[in-house]
Chain A
Amino acid sequence: MKICVLIKQVPDTDSVIKISNDQKSIEMEGITLATNESDSYALEEALLLKEDQGGEVTVLSLGGESCQQVLKDALAKGADKAIHLDDDDYKDLDILSAAKVMVNVLKDKEFDIIFSGLQSDDIGNAQLGLIMAELLDTSHASLVMGTEILDEKTIKVKQELEGGWFQWSELDLPASITIQSGLNKPRYASLRGIMMMKRKPLESIKVSELNLENTSSKSFVHKLYIPQKTKETVFIQGSADQVVDGLIEKLTNEIKVL
């Protein structure tokens, strides 16, 4: 079983986000970078499948030099190989262009499964796995909460639907599958794994040297801003019964916690 996991480096969720003066990017000074949360679950699912089925896990990341950190972390956790698509300008690529860059490198590698996280914690496109499936002409499932290999040509996946429902589907391999956070417990890199990491291959490919066409971005960031917090106090008037009915109505339909 040959599995590829697409991993993105994003600002750690504890980071304090400050917007740059040009209002088109965030200040990176003081930001701790980490593996995108759902990508960690995707990696764990890949490692579990490898341990169960045999095979190898390759991790791939597109970004500047710093994103080798998330690749090395994945190698330390048990991935076998890493590919770094080195491009400092990747943040300016739209998701379709980013997918085309990745496909150019992955198309001849004959992966059985390409895992990716459901969406990135920074931009949040939630489209990469779907586009990869289209460009590589593979099966696809999103919001996956469980996997099971049925045979060498078929994978069964559990998908999360609306309203707490789940659906099991069988997909032909190869497949591009996006993973929802929470389906497993991502492992910590063991200290022995960290020592073994430096003996594993990490291939770095300059995107500019791939001579790709039609990968210039078709979308641009116009403006970033921090949403304004607002407070509104509503007094529900009337008898006790009317107040209770009014409160339930708001909790059910407006705040949607009931």
Chain B
Amino acid sequence: MKLKGLDYLNISEHFSDEEILVQHSVRDYVDSELQPIIEEHFKNGTFPAEKIKEMANLGLLGINLPNKYGCAGLSHTAYGLACQELERCDSGIRSFVSVQGSLVMYPIFAFGSDEQKENWLPRLASGDTIGCFGLTEPDYGSNPGGMITRAVKTKNGYTLNGSKMWITNGSVADVAIVWAKTEDEVIHGFIVETDRDGFDAPEMKNKWSLRASVTAELILENVEIPEENMLPGVSGLKGPLSCLTQARYGIGWGTIGAAMAMYETALKYANERIQFGKSISSFQMTQEKLVWILSEITKGQLLAMQAGRNKDRNVLRHQQISMLKRNNTWVARETARLAREILGANGISGEYPIMRHMMNIESVYTYEGTHDMHTLVLGDDITGIPAYR
């Protein structure tokens, strides 16, 4: 079986039939149901909430989590291919799925009690419940360990106080995974229902990126939660960072999808646009741009595929995910500029997806670990010197 779309090196042969069928099914769904509406949502700054149920029915929420919780139980490689196809449409759509699956369902699955898993995972998989992930704070982005959100022990549970910034799905979420320090300065994860007294999630407006995705601030003012809402299986910064590792893995695949969309648009445009009596694809400088993009996407596909294989064998190191996220997001960012140049003035038009992807990728370049932070993670890995401390 063959992957749909760009596969210059014939890497299809390295994927199982199931994985390729996932790519086909998600691509068909995205092309028919999401591509026709995404521009309008992006323009209006709205998330296509009307599609949540469809995406859940397709199995996109918690793709790589077990069947018994209502999830598809597919390989991590299949999850990656799905992220690629979703971000080929829009980074905001992929972000929604990443947050729900990797940042909300994953920590409950990995660190939650049996009761928490049985209570929350089926509802989150079905899309009946939407989740968000609260880690970043106004003054603590790349340095989340400095967070000031506090969980103070009470007789029956905890009282949470603090604020979180740049929270995807924040204002539409029914539940938030909030990371806070207890009195012993240790970070813990808490499941916080968003209808609790003292919880507020004002939407952050005026974004010029990820406009088809909801971003909010979380304000926690004396929010009381019961003891059983704490995630029992993890303490310390490794809890939230392990969730981000899951999400970054999906981003590493997703951004290649965005680059594919821009490459396909630029190649088609270059073949059809006539200047000086011939298509602009016949000019050497256009060909050089297209070949650069094609080569970098192909290398990015190989990187993603091997990361997927490592993850499926449970040997993928977080530093390798840093390489995946850092490289492939950079490829998408550079592709946006080259594709825009190939389309000339039309490159800035909403008739084509280039500027939308370009604006989105600026967020993706920074969120879930900035490009520079991943550089330093890799620098630390090869030299043993953590330059960010």
Q: In the complex, what distance in Å separates the CA atom of A197 from the CA atom of B20?
A: 13
A32 located at the interface, meaning its Cβ lies under 8 Å from any Cβ of chain B in the complex: yes
B residues less than 8 Å from A73 (CB atoms): 21, 24
B67 located at the interface, meaning its Cβ lies under 8 Å from any Cβ of chain A in the complex: yes
Assess the B60–A191 pair: CB atoms within 8 A: yes
A33 located at the interface, meaning its Cβ lies under 8 Å from any Cβ of chain B in the complex: yes
Q: In the complex, what distance in Å separates the CA atom of A124 from the CA atom of B349?
A: 40
Assess the B21–A194 pair: CB atoms within 8 A: yes
B282 located at the interface, meaning its Cβ lies under 8 Å from any Cβ of chain A in the complex: no
B residues less than 8 Å from A193 (CB atoms): 59
Assess the B21–A189 pair: CB atoms within 8 A: yes
B residues less than 8 Å from A69 (CB atoms): 1, 17, 20
Q: In the complex, what distance in Å separates the CA atom of A136 from the CA atom of B131?
A: 56
Question: Given that A72-B17, A197-B18 are known contacts, is A189 also in contact with B25, CB under 8 Å in the complex?
Answer: yes
Question: Given that A32-B4, A33-B2, A72-B17 are known contacts, is A191 also in contact with B28, CB under 8 Å in the complex?
Answer: no
B residues less than 8 Å from A12 (CB atoms): 4
Question: Given that A73-B21, A198-B18 are known contacts, is A191 also in contact with B2, CB under 8 Å in the complex?
Answer: no
A188 located at the interface, meaning its Cβ lies under 8 Å from any Cβ of chain B in the complex: yes
CB contact list, A27-50 vs B, under 8 A = 32-33
> In the complex, how many residues of chain B place their beta carbon closer than 8 angstroms to a beta carbon of chain A?
23
Question: Given that A72-B17, A73-B21, A198-B18 are known contacts, is A191 also in contact with B1, CB under 8 Å in the complex?
Answer: no
B residues less than 8 Å from A76 (CB atoms): 21, 25
B residues less than 8 Å from A189 (CB atoms): 21, 24-25
Assess the A195–B2 pair: CB atoms within 8 A: no
Assess the A195–B18 pair: CB atoms within 8 A: yes
Which residue, of B25, B29, B57, B73, has the highest number of chain A Cβ atoms within 10 A? Answer: B25
Assess the B21–A72 pair: CB atoms within 8 A: yes
Assess the B72–A194 pair: CB atoms within 8 A: yes
Least CB distance from B339 to A in Å reads: 20
The size class of the interface chain A forms with chain B is 10 to 19
Assess the A191–B25 pair: CB atoms within 8 A: yes
Assess the B57–A190 pair: CB atoms within 8 A: yes
A residues less than 8 Å from B135 (CB atoms): none
B178 located at the interface, meaning its Cβ lies under 8 Å from any Cβ of chain A in the complex: no
Residue of B nearest to A31 (CB): B2
A229 located at the interface, meaning its Cβ lies under 8 Å from any Cβ of chain B in the complex: no
Q: In the complex, what distance in Å separates the CA atom of A69 from the CA atom of B67?
A: 24
CB contact list, A166-211 vs B, under 8 A = 188-195, 197-198
Q: Quick one: which of B2, B17, B60 contacts A32, CB cutoff 8 A?
A: B2
B residues less than 8 Å from A68 (CB atoms): 1
Task: Bits for A48-68, please: 1 = Cβ < 8 Å to B, else 0.
Answer: 000000000000000000101
Assess the A190–B58 pair: CB atoms within 8 A: yes
Residue of A nearest to B60 (CB): A191
B residues less than 8 Å from A33 (CB atoms): 2
Least CB distance from A96 to B in Å reads: 30
Assess the A195–B25 pair: CB atoms within 8 A: no
Q: In the complex, what distance in Å separates the CA atom of A72 from the CA atom of B22?
A: 11
Q: Quick one: which of B1, B29, B57, B74 contacts A195, CB cutoff 8 A?
A: B74
Q: In the complex, what distance in Å separates the CA atom of A194 from the CA atom of B17?
A: 9
Q: In the complex, what distance in Å separates the CA atom of A188 from the CA atom of B28?
A: 7
Q: Quick one: which of B28, B57, B60, B74 contacts A194, CB cutoff 8 A?
A: B74
Q: In the complex, what distance in Å separates the CA atom of A72 from the CA atom of B25?
A: 12
Residue of A nearest to B82 (CB): A191
19 contacts between A and B (CB under 8 A): A12-B4, A33-B2, A72-B1, A73-B21, A73-B24, A188-B28, A188-B29, A189-B21, A190-B72, A191-B25, A191-B58, A192-B73, A194-B18, A194-B72, A194-B74, A195-B18, A195-B73, A197-B21, A198-B17
- Ranked nearest first, the 3 interchain pairs of A and B with the lowest CB-CB distance are A191-B59, A191-B72, A189-B25
Known contacts A33-B2, A72-B17, A188-B28; 18 further A-B pairs (Cβ under 8 A): A66-B1, A69-B1, A69-B17, A69-B20, A76-B25, A188-B29, A189-B24, A189-B25, A190-B58, A190-B72, A191-B25, A191-B59, A193-B59, A194-B22, A194-B25, A195-B18, A195-B73, A198-B17
